Chains A and B, each alone.
Chain A
Amino acid sequence: MNSSTKEEGQMKTKEILETKSSRRAFMKKLSIAAAAGSAGLVTGGCVSLESSEEMGLKWEEYFKKNYRLMTQEEKDETVARLERLFKLQHNENVQISNQEPQENVLFGYAFNISRCKGYMDCVEACVQENNLDRKAKTQYIRIFEMEPGQLDPTSGDGKYHHEVPVENKFYMGVQCYHCENAPCTKACPTKATWREPDGIIVVDYDWCIGCRYCLAACPYWGRRFNWGEPEVAEEEITKKQHYLGNRMRMKGVMEKCTFCIQRTRQGKLPACAEACPTGSRVFGNLLDPNSEIRYVLKHKKVFRFKEELGTDPKFWYFID
């Protein structure tokens, strides 16, 4: 494969030299040729099938910066490239947003453990909305069936598959808690995961090197790794995406719950909260004293999981 690519690249360079075009065009074409030569290295796949446009895009994508260091212009460019790449690879249009956080918004979540019935509609909605790998059955949310007399999900049953709710048991959902003092962001050697100003902990999938130190550092098992190439049936792909959210991941990178950043930044509820048939999930702006989540914090007795670790999660459990 590689040798044929190299030949292709050399041929292209030759052609270009013969046409004697302007310097600028020459440089551009040269970069495409170089891309052709090295794309085999980067993708390790069937290079000869790819168009030169695709290889050029991949080449530019490979050398882009960390998302946080990009100017608005560069963000727009990378989003355009990613949309184009998806079009080339799947012949399907996706919209990838790079919407910025809103001022005076800090997202928080509350979970009513006396209301949850363990139906798992939230889990399924999350899988659909966030384009989670169907092959590896990746899930961001887990629901634990709890015996009375306990409040620690680690002693619950996270693998139940029977009619719910079971009498005298209660249900407790866990996911990424978007800690204010997140151990995962501290651990990342490349700053590929960070806290956004609206409190969401995100991952720049293209910047992550896949060392999985964040996974080891997370005390809540809130992060997932793409061990293989993720697979989602084309008709099931959620087309409205966000750069830091549900856009398609690749193998060898971390991913996690983003409070459905593609939805919540537009004022919508996360998919889990919208899907919940029991109203156990309360989501809102913590900086708004009139928000539902603030009502819960003020009027309910709340607790947080593993609070002793000082991670300061923005996810509270409460009881009616």
Chain B
Amino acid sequence: MKKLFFCSSLLFLVLGMVLTSRQTAMASGSSVMDHILAADEPFDNRTIESAHALPVKTVQAKESYQGGTFRVLARKDSITRFRCSVCHTDKVVQVRDGVLFTHGDIEINHGRGNDKLACIECHDEDDRDFLSDAEGKKIDFDHSYQLCGQCHFRPKRDWLGGAHGKRVTYWAGERVVQNCTNCHSPHAPAFATKMPVTYSLPLDE
């Protein structure tokens, strides 16, 4: 009887060891980072056919992304009173609604403390259809990132890489990203304070 007892206990021991070793083998896999870093072949995003072209206007960016090209959302169509040169000419313009025509509705809240920016620090003084950077180089409204990036060079670097800003709709297909001014109002670029869209349970009453 004792023999039987020892035999069966031995059996259980062996069975237990076999199963435990199997579990350990399962647990000791490599980290996902090893797997990721081992993948150095660029993936052709265009192989995903369902990533269609966007129905909105985009322009080819004048910068490169990972050595290649990318597109940004065009801005000029979204600017309410573009082209600016319709009013901003040498001709005399009749002003009826003063506030509107002198851009009195725009409050500039861009810059540190009381040191707010003036209009012409970004807008071109002579050709109002363009922006201009610190060196006086004209910049198209569609490529405003070139202007923003002269001060906000770190966000711009992140934006080029993809850590700041966001792609539009697709992670695949040709890279199309939001322009700076899609999210940030250039006149008051900080995000507003507002109520959240929804709430989480359990909500404290």
Q: Which residues of A contact B (CB under 8 A)?
A: 102, 104-106, 108, 110, 112, 115, 117-121, 123-124, 127, 137, 139, 142-143, 158-165, 180-181, 264, 266-269, 273-274, 276-279, 281-297, 299-300, 310, 312, 314, 318, 320
Contacts and interface: CB of A to CB of B under 8 A. Distances in A.
A278 B161 contact: no
A287 B43 contact: yes
* CB-based closest 5 A-B pairs: A292-B162, A267-B51, A267-B172, A288-B43, A266-B50
Given A123-B197, A295-B66, 9 more contacts: A106-B36, A161-B195, A266-B50, A268-B171, A279-B165, A283-B171, A286-B32, A289-B40, A290-B43
Contact of B169 (A160, A268, A278, A296): A268
A121 B23 CA distance: 42
B51 A278 contact: no
Interface in B155-202: 155, 158, 161-167, 169-173, 178, 183, 191, 193-202
B42 interface: yes
Contacts of A285: 43, 45, 171-172
B98 to A, nearest CB: 33
A51 to B, nearest CB: 35
A115 B190 CA distance: 11
The size bracket of the interface on B is 35 or more
B196 A159 contact: no
16 contacts: A104-B43, A121-B197, A143-B200, A158-B200, A180-B31, A269-B169, A277-B183, A279-B165, A279-B183, A285-B171, A287-B36, A289-B42, A293-B162, A296-B161, A312-B32, A320-B154
Contacts of A291: 43, 162, 171
Contacts of A293: 162
A283 B36 CA distance: 15
Contacts, number: 162
A294 B191 CA distance: 27
B200 A123 contact: yes
B48 interface: yes
A141 to B, nearest CB: 9
Contacts of B45: 267, 285, 288
B193 A159 contact: no
Nearest to B159: A279
A267 B36 contact: no
B39 A119 contact: no
Given A165-B191, A289-B39, A139 B201 contact: yes
Contacts of A108: 36
Interface string B28-40: 0101110110011
Contacts of A102: 47-48
A295 B161 contact: yes
A142 B163 contact: no
Nearest to B36: A286
A143 B199 CA distance: 9
B156 to A, nearest CB: 12
A252 B193 CA distance: 40
A293 B164 CA distance: 11
A120 to B, nearest CB: 4
B201 A137 contact: yes
Nearest to B40: A289
B171 A119 contact: no
A297 B36 CA distance: 10
Contacts of A158: 200
Nearest to A120: B196
B68 interface: yes
A213 to B, nearest CB: 17
B194 A164 contact: yes
Contact of B202 (A120, A159, A274, A312): A159
Contacts of B18: none
Contacts of A289: 39-42
Contact of A159 (B42, B195, B200): B200
